[in-house]
């Protein structure tokens, strides 16, 4: 079954802790993206990667880090430097000029 | 990318066609119209896109006016599972290049039994 998986669906962390969100895809798509969505707001781009071992900052990269060691995987780390980490995080891939999204991870920092 | 305007909410009776409008009066010649939907607490789902011709797939139909300043997404037989926020976006196709999806506030479609 092809697709994009994000785990876990819900994640709780204490303030000051780093946390890594998983994004895996078996669609063989080159480009991958991380977005953040806050209640009542649209999507904001955090990081994107067009190929393995390459990634670029999006509009709100501060307090986040990523890696792209494999084509299938694009994990996002939310660091303690991120001031308001509680949000819904979405991973996406790009194919034929269309973005496809994963199911999302809802992160709550207590 | 051109700005879009959508009604904030709409109701549709189950089994009837849902017609969701979108205005994009500043669209330029190389911009596509894309539709996504987002069911509560899930990731956005791609529905359909088009440039100037009407398009149809297994999920929906997209009708784009001749001047391309507006479009309508048609769900032919709405079901309760179609209740979601529907986003219309307009953007340039950048093959192989950097892409960013920017959603507005969308239309909240409520399908009523």
Q: Contact B101/A31, CB-based, under 8 Å?
A: no
**Among A38-52, A63-77, B15-29, B66-80, whose mean pLDDT is lowest?**
A38-52
Q: Give the mean pLDDT of A30-58.
A: 91
Percent of chain B with pLDDT over 70: 92
- Asked whether the predicted pLDDT for residue A1 surpasses 80, the reply is no
Rg of the Cα atoms in chain B: 14
- Asked whether the predicted pLDDT for residue A17 surpasses 80, the reply is yes
Interface mutation target, options A42, A51, A93, chain B, most CBs of B under 10 Å: A42
Q: In angstroms, what separates the C-alpha of A104 from chain B's closest C-alpha?
A: 5
- Asked whether the predicted pLDDT for residue A79 surpasses 90, the reply is yes
Q: In angstroms, what separates the C-alpha of A5 from chain B's closest C-alpha?
A: 11
User: Please, are residues A23 and A40 in contact by the beta-carbon 8 Å criterion?
Assistant: no
Q: Give the mean pLDDT of A70-74.
A: 97
Partner-chain residue, chosen from A42, A50, A88, that has the shortest CB–CB distance to B102: A42
Per-residue pLDDT at B29: 86
Q: In angstroms, what separates the C-alpha of B51 from chain A's closest C-alpha?
A: 12
Whose structure tokens read 């994000």? A6
CB pairs under 8 A between A and B: 52
Per-residue pLDDT at A40: 76
3-state secondary structure of B1: coil
Q: Give the mean pLDDT of A63-79.
A: 97
Partner-chain residue, chosen from A42, A56, A90, that has the shortest CB–CB distance to B43: A90
Per-residue pLDDT at A2: 61
Per-residue pLDDT at B93: 64
- Asked whether the predicted pLDDT for residue A39 surpasses 90, the reply is no
Antiparallel, parallel or unpaired: β B9-13 and B107-112: parallel
Per-residue pLDDT at B92: 74
Per-residue pLDDT at B97: 58
- Using 50, 70 and 90 to split pLDDT, how confident is the model at A75? very high
* B8 at A interface, C-beta within 8 A: no
pLDDT tens digits in sequence order for chain B, 113 residues long:
668 999 999 999 999 999 999 999 999 888 899 999 999 889 999 999 999 989 999 999 999 999 999 999 999 999 999 999 999 998 876 655 566 777 778 999 999 99
**Average model confidence (pLDDT) for chain A?**
92
| Structure tokens given for B56 | 């149809």
């Amino acid at each position: 079954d092809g697709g994009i998986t994000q785990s876990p669906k819900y994640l709780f962390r204490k303030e000051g802790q780093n946390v890594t969100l998983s994004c895996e895809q078996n669609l063989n798509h080159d480009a991958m993206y991380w977005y953040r969505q806050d209640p009542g707001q649209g999507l904001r781009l955090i990081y994107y990667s067009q190929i393995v071992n390459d990634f670029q900052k999006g509009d709100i990269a501060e307090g986040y880090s990523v890696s792209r060691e494999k084509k299938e995987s694009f994990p996002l780390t939310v660091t303690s430097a991120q001031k308001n980490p509680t949000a819904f995080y979405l991973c996406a891939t790009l194919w034929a000029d269309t973005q496809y999204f994963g199911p999302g991870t809802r992160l709550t920092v207590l | 990318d051109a700005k879009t305007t959508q009604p904030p909410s709409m109701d549709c009776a189950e089994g009837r066609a849902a017609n969701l409008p979108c205005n994009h009066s500043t669209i330029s010649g190389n911009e596509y119209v894309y539709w996504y939907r987002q069911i509560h607490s899930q990731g956005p789902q791609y529905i359909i896109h088009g440039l100037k011709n009407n398009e149809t797939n297994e999920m929906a139909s997209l009708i784009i006016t001749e001047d391309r300043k507006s479009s309508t997404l048609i769900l032919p037989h709405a079901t309760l599972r179609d209740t979601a926020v529907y986003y219309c976006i307009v953007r340039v196709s950048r093959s192989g290049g950097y892409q960013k999806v920017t959603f507005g506030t969308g239309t909240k479609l409520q399908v009523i039994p």
